[in-house]
A and B are shown apart, each in its own frame.
Chain A
Amino acid sequence: MAFTSLAPARPLSGSLLTRNCPDLALVRTAGTEYLLTGDLAGSAGSIFIQALMNLIFSDFFERTRLAARALVDFGENLFNPTVRLGVTGLSRAGKTVFITALVHGLARGGRFPVFSALARGRIARAHLAPQPDDAVPRFEYENHVKALVGERAWPESTRQISELRLVIEYQSESGRMRELTLDLVDYPGEWLLDLPLLGKSYEEWAQESLALSRDGPRLHLAEPWHAYLATLDPYAPADEQAAMTAAQRYTEYLKACRDERYALSLLPPGRFLMPGDLAGSPALTFAPLDFEAGGVAPDGSLWAMMRRRYESYKDVVVRPFFRDHFAQLDRQIVLVDVLAALNAGPAAVRDLERALGSILGCFEIGRRTWLSTLFAPRVDKMLFAATKADHLHHSSHDRLEAILARMVARAAAGAKFAGAATDVIALAAVRATREAEVRRGGDELPAIVGVPAASEQAAGQVFDGEREIALFPGDLPADPERVFAVGPDGFKGITGVSHADAAFRFLRFRPPRIVQAMDGLPSLPHIRFDRALEFLIGDRLR
């Protein structure tokens, strides 16, 4: 029975790494072309065949490796139940704060009325344990808490990967003492954008990137890069200096897209924005080139060099990252900062939608069977969370959830079809604001009260980061479609108009003032964090 339910969902050949059509398809098409035209030298043919074999074997090994590891994990899991919680989110979505709040809440016993295992007192204690991987830095939990509570500052954007293991000791409903191990990974959200590259050849990626850069607000931002690109000839001999300049201009364009005014999300490759320890290495020195579709890269050309580097980027950077941290998740939470995109405008909203769609296609999702647990673990519960829900009044949360649901509709429907449980919530792992009502000319505006971060601006004012204000951030539309409309029907964001004329103004607020209690730190305030926990791990603590 287990086998029949496994087979259709996961055919033997449709692997994690090939399923999204990667290299095999490319080489096959190239191979066919070679057979049809037949005007290439025999040596090129043998190279193709060799490449094909390489790919088949590397994929085969990759899959065997994953299955073997799954088997080992299954054995360990019998004695030491573990949940690998995938905290997924683009940069600035709030992954670090989420993990910090999670550990803090569980270790300190936060106020989580909806998280029943904790609310009913069945969790005896939760403590940090040595992480499984010695080569990966530890998640700086203590420093993040200190920054949040002491300095009232959000953690800086994550620059490298880090891990943390949390052991929860609890009493099951039948009365036995048990332990559940929670493995958490924090990483720069930019890197997540690399995952879709696994399924794309250099040519596909280059053409997509070029098309994207000529669209909407990007066209203006990409001007310097486009100007340089026009001087490059893909068929010219490989030139290191040209490659470096192209990569540099391309990176500058990506960085410009990320600015708060544009808040664009689909900006691969991720290491260009956050190089980690690979800054300046050849694997990061490539960029899209402009060539006509269907052409063949001659040996030794700039094009061939770019392609080779792109492939090694995938092999050296992306595949290990994916294999080590995303291939074998049990539960997944997808954090999405919808509000930044709403600030910027409809183009940013659509861009975010596209980025999420391409990332979520990379994960193995579906109902768990006995056999799949053994060889190919998959995510059986998936939560989509619109973070920073404290930046708007709770009466708008339903609309925010509707917008996010519309944004991830495809991925959510796919997950549901595969048998995974999904939910969409508006979440604030750490709540920075209070709520208030403001009367303005006979109108009651639902507002929030908090301290905006320094140099944030709204309604013609620039804030100093000390003074508290009441903010009405604008009304979200009842129909989520309206924020996706571009052109004259679309809403106005700060991409196109000034801060004062934008339809929404969601400010970044500083973390809340938390009074130090006698017995250490009191719990952090939150919105629906307990609901998220109940959904993600509640059933494993029964």
Chain B
Amino acid sequence: MNSPVEFRRPAAFRPDDPNVVLPAPAENAARRRLATVGAETEAEASFEQEGELVPVRPRKAPWALLFWASAGGLVTLGLGLAVANLLSDLFARADSLGYLGVGLAALAGVAAFTILLREALGLMRLATIDKLRDRASETIVSDDRDAGRAVVSELIALTRRTPELARARARLRFHLGEIIDGRDLVQLAERELMPGLDEEARRLVGNAAKRVSVVTAVSPRAAVDMVFVLITALGLVRRLSLLYGGRPGTLGMVRLMRHVVSHLAMTGGMAVTDGLVQQMIGHGLAAKLSARLGEGVLNGLLTARLGLAAIEVTRPLPFSALRQPTIQDLAGGLLRSAERADPGPRAAVQD
């Protein structure tokens, strides 16, 4: 043997040899692996957050940061001082009032802490989903088995709270114990877990688009429908995120909306080819019938487009094995339904 380091000698053993470790049945093995991967997820997520901050904020002079930090510190100090003053005033009045004040302050503190914690967790979860999608895309290209396995395990952990997917998760967990390559595993996970969620997402977007178009068409003032569109859009993005396993808080929503809008801006150029002509024609036709109706249809189409962008931003996997929904799927019946002002055909049903 010329290089014993690389070539280890072949050897045969009896299976009852104590050194031979037979793997547990596939299901247990998958669960065990899942447990370890699940435990890693949290640590990994926080690590990834740190990692992400670096490229986003290039190393400019830290003055702005310094300003906000010191100003924030001052405000916090001021608040603390005010509360302390208030409490001492209360104690000066009467002890009972003072204790009441302390209790309230403590409650407020705990509540604020909890809110902050939840926001942070929500943000972390969103970051995990973003990361997961990126990794899944990479795995589809690289076809790396271990990466695929890690992605799918995380995906199973992510959809733990979705009861409809219990059976799909069990099947997927079983496949984790088999010899399947990275790309196939990720696509398999998509086929198992995503169809139901995708259908629901399509329904949500389709409904929102319809609602917006109808309300725009009948609302008495422009301001009313502007507010309505905004609320619907926010609600839509939030619900999509919840559907796909995110739990965005207020900060999370801000971050998500920023993603959606930037995604919309990025894909806007591409969208020109796929549906703008129809949109224009549709809008033109509707506008011939009535200016308000035309506006309604346009708003509806824009909402559907926003919904599409939101799906892409909130879905934990890229569209690979399944077909990506198009504006036609979501708002194809919009024109007709707006004209007839009835619910129209539901969003496309999965096969």
Contacts and interface: CB of A to CB of B under 8 A. Distances in A.
Contacts of A449: 15, 20, 22
Contacts of B161: none
Given A474-B7, A503-B7, A469 B21 contact: no
B216 to A, nearest CB: 34
B23 to A, nearest CB: 6
A289 interface: no
B50 interface: no
B191 A475 contact: no
A248 interface: no
A445 to B, nearest CB: 7
Contact of A459 (B11, B21, B145, B171): B11
A445 B351 CA distance: 45
Interface in B165-181: 171, 175, 178-181
B50 to A, nearest CB: 31
Nearest to A525: B178
Given A458-B10, A472-B11, A492-B1, A436 B21 contact: yes
Contact of A470 (B15, B179, B181): B15
A118 B11 CA distance: 39
Contact of B11 (A425, A440, A503, A528): A440
A206 B280 CA distance: 74
B14 interface: yes
Interface string A375-418: 00000000000000000001001100000000000000000000
Contacts of A477: 6-7
Nearest to B11: A472
Given A394-B179, A438-B13, A472 B8 contact: yes
Tell me whether chain A's interface is mostly helix, strand or loop, or mixed. mixed
Contacts of B13: 438, 447, 469-472
Interface string A184-202: 0000000000000000000
A144 B164 CA distance: 42
B12 A469 contact: yes
B22 A434 contact: yes
Contacts of B22: 434, 436, 449
Tell me whether chain B's interface is mostly helix, strand or loop, or mixed. loop
Interface string B6-37: 11111111110101111100000000000000
Given A474-B7, A503-B1, A528 B23 contact: no
A120 B351 CA distance: 9
Contacts of B351: 120, 122, 173, 175
B2 A489 contact: yes
A467 B12 CA distance: 12
Interface residues of B, number: 31
Interface residues of A, number: 51
Contacts of A475: 6-8
A435 interface: yes
Interface in B200-227: none
Contacts of A447: 13, 20
A215 B7 CA distance: 27
Contacts of A488: 2
B157 interface: no
Contacts of B8: 443, 445, 472, 474-475
Interface in A338-353: none
Contacts of A440: 11, 19
Given A114-B188, A528-B179, A439 B21 contact: yes
A439 B18 CA distance: 9
Contacts of A98: none
B184 interface: yes
A175 B10 CA distance: 53
B115 interface: no
B10 A459 contact: yes
A468 interface: yes
Contacts of A467: 14
Interface in B318-341: 321
Contacts of B145: 394, 398
Interface string B339-351: 0000000000001
A504 B10 contact: yes
Contacts of B19: 438-440
Contact of A437 (B10, B21, B191, B321): B21
Contacts of A445: 8, 11
A477 B3 CA distance: 11
Given A459-B11, A503-B10, 4 more contacts: A122-B351, A472-B12, A472-B13, A477-B6
Interchain residue pairs A-B with the least CB separation, the first 3? A505-B10, A474-B10, A470-B13
17 contacts: A113-B180, A398-B145, A425-B181, A437-B20, A437-B21, A438-B13, A443-B8, A468-B15, A470-B17, A471-B11, A472-B13, A474-B8, A474-B10, A478-B6, A488-B2, A503-B1, A530-B184
